[in-house]
Amino acid sequence: MDHAHRAYCQNVSPGGDIIICTRREEDWVPLTDEWDRLSCWRTNCFKMGINTVMIMAVLLGVSLTPSLTTQAGLSEKVLVFPYETDFSFVALIPQKEMGLRAFTLCMRVATELPEERQIILFAYRTADYDELNVWREKDGRVSFYLSGDGVFFHLPPLSTFRSSLCLTWESRTGLTAFWVEGKRSTYQVYKPGHSIRPKGTILLGQDPDKHLGGLEATQSFVGEMTDVNMWDFVLSRSMIQAWHYGHKVPKGNIFDWGTIEYELSGNVLVVDDD
């Protein structure tokens, strides 16, 4: 039993979607009488003294597929990853298969993490490949990987205030760019002719290990994410700018934040976006 990953958790919302954990017993403050105090090992939490109902994500060393109830729709909601963990993530279930030869991925993101810290922003992995990863690198650059060496961009730094970030890529030409607050970076040519493989797992908050098991706390996302949308084509400049300003755009046909299917795992809060 790994005491370093012990945690004391309780449910603080009637809907069951806000679970507060502390790492140290002495920090534990009872907030509700709805549930008993819970004891957790890694992300497995049990009601103590009653029965051993598992309430949080099953993230055994050999599986990346959470066994949680799938929920849908995050309109006007923000995901808060409150501290560094190797067990908190949100799995996203796409509306259509991820075999892609072009895409647009957009999100709004804010973080307090220091500049020199690596941060996973988006991870899509099939059995053998890191199919599509977006990172904030240790040197502050933002990077994009399609199963192999990545491509790096100098963008304005992520900060405690929300940044709007899009990424576009098209296989035919390899043209790829990030869009920050609706403004396009310089194009780079990256993996023309490549195809992204289907039938993988999409995570926010953690980078799944190359093979099986362990997630690394030092790569985890800490902060807020909202409005994650994905299309299987490249949006025009005017569409990306419209999205940035919150205007109406064609709904993401891979993910649409308003109807997105997702599974929460570990300590991730879903809060109103006021």
Q: Does 78 bind its own copies (CB under 8 A)?
A: yes
Pick the binder of its own copies from 25, 34, 112, 128 (CB under 8 A).
112
Q: Where are the beta strands (DSSP E) in the chain?
A: 6-11, 19-22, 38-41, 44-47, 71-72, 77-81, 89-93, 102-110, 119-125, 130-136, 142-145, 150-153, 163-170, 175-180, 183-184, 188-189, 201-204, 223-231, 261-265, 269-272
Q: Does 39 bind its own copies (CB under 8 A)?
A: no
Task: Determine the interface stretch with its own copies among 100-108, 129-137, 186-194, 246-254 (rule: CB under 8 A).
Answer: 186-194
256 neighbors 128 (Cβ within 8 angstroms): no
Q: Does 69 bind its own copies (CB under 8 A)?
A: no
Binding mask 243-272 for its own copies (x = CB under 8 A): --------------------------x-x-
Binding mask 145-184 for its own copies (x = CB under 8 A): -------xxxx---xxxx---------xxxx--x-x--xx
Pick the binder of its own copies from 99, 192, 198, 250 (CB under 8 A).
192
Q: Does 102 bind its own copies (CB under 8 A)?
A: no
* Tokens describing residue 125: 């992995």
> Is the torsion defined by CA of 38, 40, 44, 46 positive or negative?
negative
Q: Does 237 bind its own copies (CB under 8 A)?
A: yes
Q: Which residue has the tokens 């403004």?
A: 183
100 neighbors 196 (Cβ within 8 angstroms): yes
- The residues of the shown chain that bind its own copies, judged by CB under 8 A, are 12, 18, 20, 29-31, 78, 80, 82-83, 110-112, 114, 152-155, 159-162, 172-175, 178, 180, 183-189, 191-194, 223-224, 236-237, 269, 271, 274
